[in-house]
Every structure is written in C-alpha cells, then in structure tokens.
Amino acid sequence: MRLLVTGGAGFIGANFVHATVRERPDVEVTVIDALTYAGSRESLAPVADRIRLVAGDITDAELVDRLVAEADAVVHFAAETHVDNALADPAPFVHSNVVGTFTVLEAVRRHGVRLHHVSTDEVYGDLPLDSPQRFTERTPYNPSSPYSATKAGADMLVRAWVRSYGVRATISNCSNNYGPYQHVEKFIPRQITNVLTGRRPKLYGSGANVRDWIHVDDHNRAVWRILTDGRIGRTYLIGADGERSNLSVLRTILRLMGRDPDDFDHVADRAGHDLRYAIDPSALRDELGWRPCHTDFEAGLRATIEWYRENESWWRPLKDAVEARYQERGQ
Ligand code: NAD
Ligand code: TDX
C-alpha cells in the first residue's frame, strides 16, 4: 500500500508514521507537511531513511494532486491545532483546516483515492460537569472556538464530498491525545517542560475543566482500524474513558516529578473555555473491536515525562518563545 500522510511531521502524525514503519513494513509512506512552527523534521528523524518527506502546503493544489495520484490512500492529519493560537489569529486555521481539507478532497475525488480524515471531539462543543452525558456520532455539531469551528467545517466538507461525489472517506473525532513529540504549547508538555526548566506550571482558571485523555498510540491504532475496516461515509468517535480535570492532571504531573502538588500558578482563563469533553467510544469497540492498550493513565504520563526528560534537544529550542508568547497573553 502507498500511503500519503498529511501533517506527518506534527505530534500525532509523526507517531502514526513511526508506528506504521515499525508495524507495517509493506506500507510505503509519503508525508506532506508544511513544516510550520508545529512540525519538525526531527520528529521523523528516526524513520527518515524509510519514508519520503515532502515539504509542502496542503493548499498547494498542484502538489497535492500529484502526491494523491501516486497514493492508494490518504490519512489527513494536517491542521492548525492550538485553540489559544486560534483565538489570537484565526486566519491560518481557515487556510489550513478548511481550504486545506477542500484541496485534499478535490484531489481524492479526481483520483478515486480512499481518504481518512482525522478530526476532534471539540466539534461537538462542551458538556456540563458531573453529567452522565457523553458525545456520540449523533451529537449535533456545536463548536465554540475558531479552531473547532474550522475542524467542524472540514468535517462537513468531507461528509458532502462522500454524499455528492461518492468520495470513499471516513472521519474520526478523537479526544485529547498525550505522548511523545507533542508541542510544548499544549497542556501536558507545557507543564512537564515548565518543571524541567525551573518554571511554575500554569493552570487556566480554577482547573475544573475536564478533558478525556487518550494515549497517541491508541488513537493511531484506531485510525488504522478505521482505514482498513471502517464503513465508507461513517464517523467514528475515538476515546479511552480517560476523563480527568485539568487540576488533577497537573497535580499528578507534579507528584510524578517529585514536586509539591500545589506548586503551580493560576493564570487568566481561556476565552470561551470549553468545560468538559467526553467520548462514548462504544460504536468503535462494538463494530471494529478496537480497545485502548494504554489504560493506566499514570503509567502513560510517567513514560511521557521520561520522554521529555530524555529528549530535551527536541523541545528546548521551542520553549522560550512559547513561554514569551503566553506571558504576553497573561497566561
Ligand atoms: P500538530 O499541530 O502537532 O501537527 C500538525 C501538523 O500539520 C504540523 O506538522 C504542521 O506543520 C502541519 N500543517 C499545518 N498546516 C499545514 C498545511 N497547510 N499544509 C501542510 N501541513 C500543515 O497537531 P496534532 O496534535 O498532531 O493534530 C493532528 C490532527 O489531529 C489535527 O487534524 C487535529 O485537529 C487532530 N486532533 C488532535 C488532537 C490532539 O489532542 N492533539 C485530538 C483530536 C484530533
Ligand atoms: O498552560 C495551559 N494551562 C491550562 O490549564 C494550557 C496550554 C492549557 N490549559 C488547559 C486548557 C484545556 O482545558 O488544559 C486543557 C488542555 O489544553 P490544550 O492542550 O490546549 O488542549 P485542548 O484545548 O483541550 O485541545 C486539544 O485537544 C483536542 C488539542 O490542542 C486539539 O488540537 C485537539 O483537537
């Protein structure tokens, strides 16, 4: 199989490429990635001689058309992904997430190539705390931020291209990922690297907001299951029953790193901050038999902390600029 991976130099995409090279030697991987601030060649360095990396933008229709024509399937991760950046400047989100997905769709339509589109649970908006309600495939879209609105728009384009043009696509909406190679702007790596650089971790608001955590390798195993056995036109929700408040995740990180669990700062809350995300993954489990392997969150967090300790050369060059930007925003 010749597989085109968009955004393969980012967090989830790079882990996907590593796992694919490791576990599926029959798959020929080409990555297209614009190598924005969020993508790096270093994330693919361990597999560099086993894949082809094309530096390019997914809105470059001619380039995308050429790469799609050479592929049997496309897994589409490329996107602008950080909510705080979207609040500060939404323009790149419309460009990459909406126009980028449109460009990929037009190419797979022309060449009849199978597409899996990677999306987020944030398209469903948020849920009240302490309620049994969780997101399912039938939950109406209700995005809150410019990020989730552009991801929702991209999902809608995929659905329309399936129905109107018969494009062979599936969609997955996953909860919050953690693991190696995640950019230090995101919650868990930011706090780990704050401790490692002698800074105090920063919690938005009271920390009562709940996220549903999944290890990135479990997400990527689900993507492979859907790519091989998913029903065309279907949306699958991916989650691992990992609901936790931000406060409890932060206190666990501090404890695992040998710090006082109260040694952090409360900072300005995020505008429009979604309260709670929670995925009901039963359709994926029942129909495709997928189960998460990383069911011990604390063990996964410990391994992630270890990875950041051992790979300072990967994140250190990014850290000061990220913190300077947060400081400007009072966060
Ligand atoms: P990331 O920001 O770490 O990586 C995104 C990658 O896309 C980067 O390598 C970047 O250079 C590339 N990219 C951005 N715009 C591009 C463009 N116009 N052309 C080509 N490449 C471009 O993001 P991530 O966390 O790995 O997320 C990957 C996908 O998974 C996204 O679609 C995101 O919405 C989705 N997702 C993420 C999470 C999460 O918790 N991180 C959860 C659910 C879904
Ligand atoms: O320093 C921080 N302090 C803090 O309390 C940061 C960076 C975040 N937070 C909070 C905000 C959120 O409630 O932690 C939670 C997680 O924040 P992010 O890592 O920014 O993730 P989130 O906004 O939940 O979105 C993530 O999950 C879904 C990804 O960034 C998205 O790309 C994905 O679609």
- Mean pLDDT over the full length of the chain: 98
Only one residue has tokens 């469903």, namely 124
The answer to whether residue 122 sits within a structural domain is yes
Instruction: Give CA 129 to chain center in angstroms.
Output: 23
Band (pLDDT 50/70/90 cuts) for residue 15 is: very high
The C-alpha atoms of residue 135 and residue 19 are separated, in whole angstroms, by 28
Range of the domain at 40: 2-183+213-242+277-295
CATH number of the domain where residue 169 is located: 3.40.50.720
Q: In what order do the strands lie in the sheet with 2-6?
A: 52-55, 28-33, 2-6, 73-76, 114-120, 169-174, 235-238
pLDDT, average across residues 245-254: 98
Q: How many domains would you assign to the chain? A: 1
The answer to whether residue 129 sits within a structural domain is yes
Asked if residue 231 lies in contact with residue 295, where contact means CB atoms within 8 angstroms, the answer is no
Closest atom of ligand 2 relative to the 270 alpha carbon: 11
| Distance between Cα 187 and ligand 2 center (Å) | 5
For ligand 2, mutation pick of 37, 135, 155, 186 (most atoms within 8 Å of CB): 186
Ligand closest to Cα of 86 equals 2
The C-alpha atoms of residue 148 and residue 97 are separated, in whole angstroms, by 10
The C-alpha atoms of residue 44 and residue 115 are separated, in whole angstroms, by 22
The answer to whether residue 328 sits within a structural domain is no
CA distances from 92 to 83, 146, 208, 327 (A): 12, 10, 30, 22
Residue ranges lining ligand 1, Cβ < 6 Å: 7, 9-13, 33-36, 38-39, 57-59, 77-81, 96, 100, 118, 120, 151, 174, 176-177, 183
Q: Give the DSSP per-residue string, 253-279.
A: HHHHTTS-TT--EEEPPPTT---B--B
The answer to whether residue 207 sits within a structural domain is no
The answer to whether residue 282 sits within a structural domain is yes
The answer to whether residue 25 sits within a structural domain is yes
What would the pLDDT profile of 60-73 be if each residue is shown by its tens digit? 999 999 999 999 99
Closest atom of ligand 2 relative to the 201 alpha carbon: 1
Position 122, amino acid: E
Band (pLDDT 50/70/90 cuts) for residue 130 is: confident
| Distance between Cα 258 and ligand 1 center (Å) | 32
281 contact partners, CB below 8 Å, separation of at least 6: 237, 238, 239, 240, 241, 290
Note the pTM of the prediction, 2 decimals.
0.99
Asked if residue 301 lies in contact with residue 256, where contact means CB atoms within 8 angstroms, the answer is yes
Band (pLDDT 50/70/90 cuts) for residue 39 is: very high
pLDDT of residue 43: 98
Q: Among this protein's residues, is 269 annotated catalytic?
A: no
- Identify the DSSP state of 200: P
pLDDT of residue 134: 98
pLDDT of residue 323: 98
